[in-house]
């Protein structure tokens, strides 16, 4: 029984997928769709959906790299990424130091009255730029660590 049901579904389902669609709009503007003709309805013609072409396979004579050559390339890539990581970690530490110094050094100006005043707008602008620099180098360090983890 289950086999007959399964066979019937595989035979009739594609036919259901190809059913005509009808659209009707009543006086109040309500739209109704149906797979059977509706009084005052119009048949909708739908264009077939685009399909993707499978990616082409590499030709049989496509050049291949042997394991030793690939290992050498991976080792070179690892070395370059490690050097970049070291440089970014150094820049990150310098950026953190600059931020600390910037936070400890308020922006001041001497007013017409001869008194010293804090320039908060300039201070915040300086601190935000320093924080952006710390964030940039932090993200670079994380990205380089991720790339290094991907190398076999």
Summarize pLDDT for 107-126 with one digit per residue, the tens.
887 888 888 888 888 899 99
Residues comprising the chain, all counted: 152
CB 85 within 8 A of CB 141: yes
> Averaging pLDDT over each range in 29-33, 52-56, 91-95, 113-117, which range is the top one?
91-95
**Which whole-number Å values give the CA distances from 16 to 13, 31, 41, in the listed order?**
5, 22, 20
Please give the class, per CATH, of domain 67-150: mainly alpha
Query: Based on the number of CB atoms within 10 Å of its own CB, is 3 exposed (0-12), middle (13-18) or buried (19 or more)?
Result: exposed
Evaluate if residue 7 carries a pLDDT over 50. no
- Encode pLDDT of 63-82 as tens digits: 888 989 999 999 999 999 99
Q: Where do the structural domains in the chain lie, given as residue ranges?
A: 2-44, 67-150
Sheet containing 42-44, strands listed edge to edge, beginning at the edge strand earlier in sequence = 31-34, 21-25, 42-44
């Amino acid at each position: 029984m289950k086999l007959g049901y399964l066979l019937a579904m595989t035979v009739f389902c594609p036919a259901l997928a190809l059913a005509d669609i009808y659209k009707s709009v009543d006086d109040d503007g309500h739209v109704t769709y149906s797979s059977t003709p509706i009084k005052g309805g119009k048949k909708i013609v739908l264009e077939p959906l685009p399909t993707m072409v499978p990616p082409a396979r590499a030709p049989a004579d496509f050049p291949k790299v042997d394991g030793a050559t690939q290992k050498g390339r991976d080792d070179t890539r690892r070395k370059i990424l490690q050097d970049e990581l070291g440089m970014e970690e150094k820049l990150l530490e310098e950026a953190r130091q600059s931020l600390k110094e910037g936070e400890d050094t308020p922006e001041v100006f001497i007013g017409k009255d001869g008194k010293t005043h804090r320039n908060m707008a300039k201070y915040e602008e300086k601190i935000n730029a320093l924080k952006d620099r710390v964030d940039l180098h932090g993200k670079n360090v994380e990205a380089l660590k991720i790339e290094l983890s991907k190398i076999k």
